[in-house]
Amino acid sequence: MTWEAKDLDPLLWAKRIKSQTALNFLRKGCAEGDSRLKEIVRQHIDDGICTDDGKLLQRWDGLQWVSV
């Protein structure tokens, strides 16, 4: 199996959030004006991964979303 650098997603940590600390960091990036991070947070809210006020409801365990 081979891979190339173009296959790597530098925002995967934000898309597959694993902890409240990571969510806090993601929200900080949103507050600083990063539109890519804002889009990811909005999708997490819509998908029930976190609340609008920043509480993590589900985390990525490496294979699937699980309740916190």
Summarised one tens digit per residue, pLDDT across range 6-64 is: 778 999 999 999 999 999 999 999 999 999 999 999 999 999 999 999 999 999 999 99
Q: Are 49 and 57 in contact (CB under 8 A)?
A: yes
**Structure-token pair, residue 14:** 């934000």
**What's the Cα-to-Cα distance from 8 to each of 20, 63, 66, rounded to whole Å?**
24, 18, 24
State the pLDDT confidence band at 3, using cuts at 50, 70 and 90: low
Long-range contacts of range 40-45, CB-CB < 8 Å, 24 or more positions apart? 40/11, 40/14, 40/15, 44/17
Number of Cβ within a 10 Å radius of residue 25: 14
| pTM recorded for the entire structure | 0.86
Q: For position 7, what pLDDT does the model report?
A: 76
